[in-house]
Amino acid sequence: ALPKPLQRAVEHLRNGELPAARRLLVPYVKENPRSDVAWYLLSFALEDEGQQRKSLRRSLSINPDNQKAKRRWQQLTAGDRRPSPQAATKPPSTAREASKPVASQTAT
């Protein structure tokens, strides 16, 4: 089971409450810098795509086998290969939404 602060952060992410999730996750990663899960979750709470990527790189450097972080990385970097600005730059409003493949969104 996830530690309580991470559980609460997930709830905030599901409700689209990014600032509330950040208020839990930023201190958590400072106290637990080796938590790949916390860095992964933080990538959803951050609004800046560069910061999202940085958080995911940190997660994957700690645990290269984190499949959720790998999928999220692929979603964020899909825009690097295809011209679809909204696909890669809009942060997901919920953790559940993050599981949708970015590649299925097409530019018009």
pLDDT tens digits, 2-51: 999 999 999 999 999 999 999 999 999 999 999 999 999 999 999 999 99
Q: Which tokens sit at 99?
A: 């599981």
pLDDT tens digits, 67-88: 999 999 999 998 766 443 333 3
Alpha-helical runs (H) found in 4-108: 4-14, 18-31, 36-45, 49-62, 67-81, 85-89
Model pTM above 0.75: no
Q: Which tokens sit at 5?
A: 């602060």
pLDDT at 35: 98
Which has the closest alpha carbon to 40: 59, 25, 13, 22?
59
CATH topology of domain 4-94: 1.25.40
76-101 average pLDDT score: 51
pLDDT at 78: 86
Domain boundaries, the chain: 4-94
CA–CA distance, 27 with 72 (Å, rounded to integer): 22
